[in-house]
Amino acid sequence: MAQRQQSASTQIPSLRQDNSRPFLTQKVVLSSLHAQQVLDRGYEMCANALFSLSVVLRFIGSEAQAQEVDALVDASIDQSLEELRQESRRLREVAESNGIENAIGYTSAKTVEVQITSPRAIRYLAIIREFYGILAQMDALWLSSVVTDTQYARGVYEWNRRILRLAGQIRQIATRPVLAARRKEAGATGGQAG
């Protein structure tokens, strides 16, 4: 979904890679190294899982099963977005109370073209963008000596880990029913052959 080859660890059961998929391309500017790392490490894995959930599960499983998994994924994404927005408001209040503006510059900003292959993939991308906004606020607070090196490092690490963990959870949530549907399909096919 991004610019690099898929590794075996990011592939989940889906349509064959040579099958054509529709996609939208979005340009994303990420200045912070940490936001760049989250995009590189989590987006493709999560987007593949979300595509599998939106398309493959409906193809090989039941609509009821897909809707149940949809609800779990949507709840996880909604909760993460809300937690990020709460943290953003909190950091903005801390910055305002200390007279700090968030006009931060970065030395190695990247513009990345990201392929959106499902409606939920754009929502995970929104999480990464929200994370980037939090990072800019944390950077401003850190450079202004409002937060210590330890507080800064811990905050960045925790949010980075939470967002990557969400990608892994989505992958697990989407993979289990796809594998179960494939096993069921293979069992039905194997039973008919005998």
| Single pTM value for the model | 0.82
Contacts of 49 (CB under 8 A, 6+ apart): 12, 167, 170, 171, 173, 174, 175
* Residue 15 within a domain: no
Question: What count of Cα atoms within 13 Å lies in the side-chain half-sphere of residue 144?
Answer: 18
Above pLDDT 70, what percent of the chain?
86
Q: How far apart are CA 98 and CA 114, in angstroms?
A: 36
* Greater model confidence, 192 or 83: 83
Q: What confidence tens digit (pLDDT) does each residue in 126-178 have?
A: 999 999 999 999 999 999 999 999 999 999 999 999 999 999 999 998 888 77
> For residue 80, what are the domain limits?
22-172
Q: Which residue has the higher pLDDT, 12 or 166?
A: 166
- pLDDT value for 36: 94
Q: Which residue has the higher pLDDT, 161 or 69?
A: 161
Candidates 30, 49, 39, 165; CA nearest to 117 is 49
Tell me, yes or no, whether 89 lies in a domain.
yes
Structure confidence at residue 108 (pLDDT): 87
Find out whether 22 and 87 touch, Cβ atoms under 8 Å: no
Judge contact between 123 and 81, C-beta under 8 A.
yes
Asked whether residue 93 is domain-assigned, the answer is: yes
Query: Residue 191: inside a domain, yes or no?
Result: no
For 72-114, the pLDDT digits (tens) are: 999 999 999 999 999 999 999 999 999 987 678 899 889 999 9
- Within a domain: 165: yes
In a domain, 6, yes or no: no
Mean pLDDT (the chain, rounded): 85
Counting the structural domains of the chain, the total is: 1
What's the confidence (pLDDT) of residue 12? 44
User: Residue 124's pLDDT is what?
Assistant: 96
Q: Let me know if residue 9 belongs to a domain.
A: no
Mean pLDDT of all residues in 53-67: 83
Q: Note whether residue 186 is domain-resident.
A: no
